[in-house]
Amino acid sequence: MTVPLQEARTSLLDRATAYVRSRIHGAQAEAAEHFVRSYWERVPAEDIVGRDPVDLAGAALAHLHLGERRPPGTTQVRVYTPTFDDHGWASTHSVVEVVVDDMPFLLDSISMALVRQGCGLHLVIHPVVDGVSYIHVEIDRQPAGERMDTLRADLLGVLEDVRAAVEDWPAMRAQALALADELQERLPSGDGDERGYGGVPREDCAEARDFLRFLADDHFIFLGFREYELVRDDGGEGETLKPVSGSGLGVLRDDPGAHDSAPSRSFARVPPELRRQSPATEPLILTKAGARATVHRPAPLDYVGVKRYDADGVVIGERRFLGLYTSTMHKAPTAEIPVLRRTVAAVKKRAGFAPASHDAKSLAEVIEALPRLELL
């Protein structure tokens, strides 16, 4: 940052705080002045210089007043195009103001929601004050009325998903570890071709156990969990996965206004002949969900299903995790990723190259360069 630019920034903030002192008196003046300075503290000088000091002060104070009206533990969202006559400050852009308890994924989730709605982002400010996030986003100028109402409703839904995912993350991770322990308990004692949980071969059972533990070890962002029971009709031809009431966590939390018996739409879309082709003895279902994430990253949700079996080895349900594999998963050597490591070992064996040969090394380089999710 050049010295003249820094000096211009300092002068502009001094004039903004002077304006605050001229408008607010008494005990509130010092707090308001401090908030204004903190609000713009981390914003690059090139994004501040050239603005009216009244607009700098007005933007911060408008956001502060929104936060003052926020009941603890709730989320406040406002979308508007400020004018001096109506709001005490003005901008050439429309503005999104959010006040919410500070938690992970807020900024990226809000940004991707706005981009999804076709809004160009011009400036993002994110001060955190006493454990509360104040998020200010300047976007393309929006028409008043229904369009702004739609943006606000969408952001409130996204922030509800963020809160649910963050609050329930420990419980979802605990579910993954509990299922891994369940698979461990069902492992046969020998090392041969014995069958364990639900008639699953020992090696498959052990890989499923290790994969769940691998996910819980910071390789998966748990966003949702729910348990489903498989309901068959009297003739045994039709099957429906129905959610177990009270089992939902994160973005799959039970909706008090919804019907808990509603079947799984993703399962219903799978043709019966394809369901029959999925071996019952494969304990894991690893795929992509039909929905995109509203939290953290704009990508299709990763889907990890763990089948439930009865005493006779018949599939009777599923425990489903939705989330996103982390960057550490994408960078991990294939030999460290359960399930995938078996596939890679099988490919190398079928290739038949001598372990230390040039061809074997070349094949290993090709495999390690491939995206982990495509391999999985």
- 170-179, 238-247, 275-284: the lowest-pLDDT one: 275-284
DSSP reduced 3-state for 111: helix
Q: What is the pLDDT of residue 270?
A: 45
Q: What is the pLDDT of residue 325?
A: 97
Total Cβ atoms within 10 A of residue 182: 15
- 107-121, 242-256, 278-292: the lowest-pLDDT one: 278-292
Higher pLDDT, 1 or 352: 352
pLDDT grade for 141, boundaries at 50, 70 and 90: very high
Residue 178 to residues 83, 175, 225, 277, Cα–Cα distance (Å): 55, 5, 13, 28
Total Cβ atoms within 10 A of residue 205: 23
Task: State the DSSP code for 371.
Answer: -
Burial class (CB in 10 A: 0-12, 13-18, 19+), 177: middle
Whether the predicted pLDDT of 268 surpasses 70: no
For residues 153-180, average pLDDT: 98
Bridge partner residues of 238 (DSSP): none
Structure tokens that stand for 225 in this block: 């969990």
**β pairing state of 94-101 and 128-129:** unpaired
Residues 77-94 pLDDT 10s: 999 999 999 999 999 999
Distance CA 100, CA 130 (A): 11
Opening angle at CA 135, ends 82 and 321, nearest 5: 135
For residues 253-262, average pLDDT: 57
Q: What is the pLDDT of residue 57?
A: 97
Burial class (CB in 10 A: 0-12, 13-18, 19+), 27: exposed
pLDDT grade for 255, boundaries at 50, 70 and 90: low
**Among 11, 155, 129, which Cα is nearest to 63's?**
129
Q: What is the pLDDT of residue 290?
A: 87
Q: What is the pLDDT of residue 185?
A: 87
Distance CA 246, CA 24 (A): 50
Task: State the DSSP code for 244.
Answer: P
Structure tokens that stand for 106 in this block: 């807020």
Q: What are phi and psi of 114, to 5 degrees?
A: -70, -40
Q: Let me know: does 354 contact 360? Beta carbons within 8 Å.
A: yes
| Average of per-residue pLDDT values in the chain | 90
- 70-74, 134-138, 265-269: the lowest-pLDDT one: 265-269
| Residue recorded with tokens 């819980």 | 216
Distance CA 14, CA 2 (A): 18
Q: What are phi and psi of 222, to 5 degrees?
A: -75, 120
- 52-66, 94-108, 124-138, 275-289: the lowest-pLDDT one: 275-289
Whether the predicted pLDDT of 300 surpasses 80: yes
